[in-house]
Structure 1
């Protein structure tokens, strides 16, 4: 940039051709990103580009990754407060740069103070339209889909945002391979019927129809997280559900007692280690009901229940539930895909799938979706 070229500051709501990825509200002053993989994207023709970001948290800080022309170039933790971040400078002003600034960490239900907002941009050039991609995919899942442990050494055990990644992640990899726009709905430890520790409130289906309803606190309510999601604003061609690992964990974990009511919840095993039939039925029913909810809100999508990156013990139950749903609904645009199990070689941090495991899953899922769409 020459000395006489000044950067122009533009409020995010006034930026032409700014594309917002991920579920959010209609509020654009500022733009709030809630879910992992959510992003702001634009094409910039200029030498320099900055964004004004506001980060808030009590316990768990937001992280972002910056992708330029399809390649990740930086990743950083955000400190509290509002500040300008330089995305690039000194680049050829005549060349158009595609820029994505991606929320690298899941919606943090355990930290009501956590938020990430975009207020403005600064550039010396023009902002041009972003190409519309031909395919839309929604991913629904747990810690695997949140990218927990997808980055970091195998020895890492701390549950902190640093070890989450939206990019070293089968969701990003699959979408890139298919040239698709994508969204993620995910939460570590949560399941279809309950969370890994038997808490029945830790289930994704209950909050699926809100913008980001699993978030708590006055701040998130003010930001619109609890509002009903407008499904007509973005209709996926494919919905990939990767849930069941934490439901399996609930069978292996101690009972959970509701601190308010004293009610005890437990998915039980029989003495021989098999699943208690009554409790397994609860899981299967939850799968069926979630498929009904998914179809209601995504009438034209092919729904894939993809499962198995951390074992596939509940796969027979998922098959039974999906078969029952298909029989009752006569909805044949629903299928099951067993994913490659994570091995010692492909393990990441926190005994979760690492980047190699995510890559293997992305390859299998990409091939499956390509064949399915043909």
Structure 2
């Protein structure tokens, strides 16, 4: 029998991750996991849950995953137990992909080293590498329901149906996401601008980390994604998409002083992104759910460009959704809206990367 640790020697990793002392590879962010080619008789992949998996009737937060064979989804579910083994039977000679469909804040999942009698080899990298930084829209929040009056569950969140993943498919690109629902640049989502800003839901402080989660990987000290620094040399994107501001707008609307602060902090975050990825082009986008804040995003880009003298930064506005293509949970984009956004974004990226 062969033993394969989940790492770059044997597989292509599809998101940020880390190993614990038992060799378990922990995934936190949407879209994280691995891809490989497997040839052998049967395959078992053992998953382990974080503390959320111990809580019964917790489909609001359980990590959601999918297992693909040659591009076809064969197994999907939520990690509602501490361990679960995904089993493929018979002779296999195929590309295998395990992907975390849900986001980091609610839960994480771990992957044990794979024990098998076959051979695992990595999938080659794509020619184009993308990173997409965003919020719930980037995560695929509520995309599996068609009722805007239904609230959030990780059970209805699917990164593979979001514009972020679909854009990469259209461009035949690798993609990694850094996205958290409800978070922003200067405030998380508030239901009234009369309320104080949610300053504990700001994405920029965590961009240099593995991620953020309300759950620990396990009971060992420090095993939380927000306590683990990320090594940016492990994945160098050709282009980074930044889609942040929808949640900020909930607090900024009607207040020019707040929009000015958004511009200032957005420009600072662009400096962080550029410092961590100095060779990557940057595309800042806005507008799938609203575009009121878009001019301020564009102003922040101009401010950053002037201060940094970095010219390879661009902007784009999406067509805001209006219900004609339906809604997902909590008035989030429907699959058709994500498709439209992915097409527009893929066209813009193609233009930039000529």
Q: Fold match, TM over 0.5?
A: yes
Are residue 308 (structure 1) and residue 307 (structure 2) matched? Answer: no
Contact 2:6 2:34 in 1 (8 A): no
* 336-345 or 283-292, which deviates more: 336-345
Question: Which consecutive segments of 4 or more residues in structure 1 shift more than 6 A?
Answer: none
Contact 1:11 1:29 in 2 (8 A): no
> In 1, distance between residues paired with 2:90 and 2:297?
53
Q: 1:224 to 1:334 in 2, by over 3 A?
A: same
Are residue 210 (structure 1) and residue 203 (structure 2) matched? Answer: no
**Which residue of the other structure, out of 24, 37, 46, is the alignment partner of 1:43?**
37
Contact 2:138 2:179 in 1 (8 A): yes
State the 1:214 CA deviation. 5.3
> Tell me, what secondary structure is at the counterpart of 1:85?
strand
> In 2, distance between residues paired with 1:116 and 1:287?
31
- Which aligned pairs between 1:103-114 and structure 2 lie closer than 5 A? 103-108=100-105, 111=106, 114=107
Q: 1:333 to 1:155 in 2, by over 3 A?
A: closer
RMSD over equivalenced CA pairs, Å: 2.2
Are residue 98 (structure 1) and residue 95 (structure 2) matched? Answer: yes
> Tell me, what secondary structure is at the counterpart of 1:89?
strand
Residue 258 of structure 1: aligned partner:
none
State the 1:101 CA deviation. 0.7
Contact 1:150 1:163 in 2 (8 A): yes
Q: Tell me the alpha carbon deviations over residues 107-144 of structure 1, each in whole angstroms, 9 at most, x when there is no partner.
A: 02xx5xx3310013244422123112112111111110
State the 1:279 CA deviation. 1.4
Q: Which runs of 5+ in 2 are unaligned?
A: 191-196
> Tell me, what secondary structure is at the counterpart of 2:284?
strand
Q: 1:318 to 1:75 in 2, by over 3 A?
A: same
State the 1:350 CA deviation. 2.4
> Tell me, what secondary structure is at the counterpart of 1:300?
coil
> In 1, distance between residues paired with 2:110 and 2:154?
17
State the 1:47 CA deviation. 3.9
> In 2, distance between residues paired with 1:314 and 1:14?
40
State the 1:15 CA deviation. 9.7
State the 1:349 CA deviation. 2.5
Are residue 369 (structure 1) and residue 349 (structure 2) matched? Answer: yes
Number of aligned residues: 337
Which structure has the bigger radius of gyration?
1
> In 2, distance between residues paired with 1:66 and 1:42?
12
> In 2, distance between residues paired with 1:104 and 1:115?
11
State the 1:11 CA deviation. 5.0
Contact 1:141 1:187 in 2 (8 A): yes
Q: 1:229 to 1:35 in 2, by over 3 A?
A: same
Residue 260 of structure 1: aligned partner:
none
**Which residue of the other structure, out of 107, 131, 135, is the alignment partner of 1:138?**
131
Residue 68 of structure 2: aligned partner:
67
> In 2, distance between residues paired with 1:14 and 1:183?
16
State the 1:13 CA deviation. 5.2
Contact 2:131 2:240 in 1 (8 A): yes
Residue 222 of structure 1: aligned partner:
222
Q: 1:14 to 1:199 in 2, by over 3 A?
A: closer
Are residue 184 (structure 1) and residue 185 (structure 2) matched? Answer: no
> In 2, distance between residues paired with 1:358 and 1:328?
34
Contact 1:205 1:290 in 2 (8 A): yes
**Which residue of the other structure, out of 288, 296, 319, is the alignment partner of 1:317?**
296
Residue 249 of structure 1: aligned partner:
250
Q: 1:53 to 1:34 in 2, by over 3 A?
A: same
State the 1:39 CA deviation. 1.2
Q: 1:40 to 1:129 in 2, by over 3 A?
A: closer
Q: 1:229 to 1:64 in 2, by over 3 A?
A: same
Q: Tell me the alpha carbon deviations over residues 73-101 of structure 1, each in whole angstroms, 9 at most, x when there is no partner.
A: 33211222123211x2234x4xx311111
Q: Tell me the alpha carbon deviations over residues 239-291 of structure 1, each in whole angstroms, 9 at most, x when there is no partner.
A: 1011111011123xxxxxxxxxxxxxxxxx5xxxxx32221111111111111
Q: 1:220 to 1:336 in 2, by over 3 A?
A: farther
Contact 1:53 1:84 in 2 (8 A): yes
**Which residue of the other structure, out of 277, 286, 306, is the alignment partner of 1:298?**
277
**Which residue of the other structure, out of 110, 123, 130, is the alignment partner of 1:117?**
110
> In 2, distance between residues paired with 1:276 and 1:45?
59
TM-score (norm: length of structure 2): 0.89
> In 1, distance between residues paired with 2:122 and 2:198?
45
